[in-house]
Amino acid sequence: MPAVSSTSILLVGSTVLAFALAAIATPLVGFFARRLGMLDMPGGRRRHPRPIPRPGGLAIAIAFGTAVFVFWLIDRLAGHPFLIPEEVRSSRFTLTAIAALLGMAIGLLDDLLELRARWQFLGQVVVAAVIVIAGIHIDFVNDPLSDRLIELSFPVAVAFTMLWIIGMNNALNFIDGLDGLAAGVAAIAALTLGGLALLPQVSEPFVTWMGFTLAGAIAGFLLFNFHPARLFMGSAGVVFVGTMLAVLSIFGTAKVAAALLVLGVPIIDTFYVLVRRVLQGQPPFAPDRGHFHHRLLDVGLSHRQAVLLIYALTLGFGTLAFLTSGRTQALAFVGAVLLFGVAVVVLAQRAPKAEELDPALYAEKEV
C-alpha cells in the first residue's frame, strides 16, 4: 500500500474512530459516575441546576487509547509496519502513555475524593517526573531576539520540562470553568499541533496521529459537554489531556512556541490570575470568579457566546502559529500577553457591579 494512502487511512480512520468511541463511551461513563456518586453538586460558585457526573474526561482517555490500540493491533496482525510509523514502537511512547494513565488515575482520585490543591500538585509533579525519566524533555527553545535556537543544559531542560507539563495541566484546569470551554480549546490545540507536524519542515507523522486522534476523542466528548453540559471533564480528563498536549508539543522538534501561542488564552489567563491572587494576599490556587471567561460573562455575554469567543481566539492563535515560525511565534505570544493584560484590566471594571448583583458568585475558599 502506498505510503501516502496508508498515512491518510491512519490519520482519518483513527480520528473518526476516536470520535465515535468517545460518543459511545461518554454517556456510559456518566451512567457509572452516577452509580458511584461521582457527581458535581450545585451550590456556591457552582451554578449548574442539578448534580452532574464529574469524571467525563475518562471517556476521552478510553476513546483515545482504544483507537490507538486498534491500529496498533492491525499492524501486529499484518506482521510488519502496515499503517503506523516505526517510531511508535519506542519506549518513549510507552512511558509517556504510562504517565498519561498515571495522571488520569490521579485525576480520578481527585474526582472521587476532591483532593486539596497541594495533593493535586504533588500528583502533577509525579506525572512530570515520569515523563522526564522517559527521556522526554525540552532541549531547545526559540530565541525571541533572533531565529536561532537556544540549547538548554540538562538540569535547566529537566526543570523547564517539568514546569511546562505542570503549567499546561494547571492552565487547562483554570480554564475549565464553563461548559465545553477547556475541551474545545484542547481540541483546537491538538488539531493545531497535529497540523503543524504535517508541515514539510517538521514532518512528524507520529505527532500528527496522536494530535488528530486526541482531537477526535475530545470532539466526541464535546457532544455531551457543550452547554448545557450533561457531564464534566473532571480532573481525570484535564490531567490526561493536559499531559498529552504538553508531551506532543515537546516530541521531536520542540514546538513550545507554537503551543504557547495556540494555548495563549488559558496560559495567559493562568499567569494573570496567579499574579493577582499573590498581590492580593490570596492562596494561588484558591478558586474565585476572576478568570477571563468570568469577565466575559460580566460584560453581558451569554454562556455559549463566551465559550465561542474563546474558541475563536484560540483558532486565531492557531492560524497565527501556522503562518509564523520560531521567533515570530514567541514575539506574537509576548504581544498577546500585553494585549490580554489590557483586556483583563478593562473587563475587570465590570466585576464590582456583578459582585453587587450576586456576591455568592465571588465567594472564595481555599482548596
Q: What is the pLDDT along the chain (367 residues), one digit of tens a residue?
A: 444 567 788 889 999 999 999 999 999 999 998 888 888 776 555 566 678 888 889 999 999 999 998 988 887 787 666 667 665 556 667 777 787 788 888 888 888 887 777 788 888 898 899 888 888 888 887 766 666 777 888 899 899 999 999 989 988 988 888 889 999 999 999 999 999 888 877 778 888 889 999 999 999 999 999 988 889 898 889 999 999 999 888 875 557 777 888 888 888 888 888 887 788 777 776 666 777 787 788 777 888 888 999 999 889 888 888 887 766 777 777 777 777 777 766 666 655 444 443 444 434 333 3
CB atoms within 10 A of CB 140: 14
- Closest C-alpha to 60, from 97, 108, 26: 26
Residues in Cβ contact with 306 at an 8 Å cutoff, skipping those fewer than 6 apart: 178, 181, 293, 296, 297
Helix-then-strand count for the chain, H and E: 14, 4
- The dihedral through the CA atoms of 341, 346, 352, 354 has a sign that is negative
Output DSSP code: residue 88: G
| Cα 354 from Cα 360, distance rounded (Å) | 10
Are 232 and 52 within 8 A, CB to CB? yes
pLDDT for 359 equals: 41
Give the residue carrying C-alpha cell 478558586. Answer: 287
User: What are the backbone angles phi and psi of residue 82, rounded to the nearest 5°?
Assistant: -110, -45
Cell of 320: 497565527
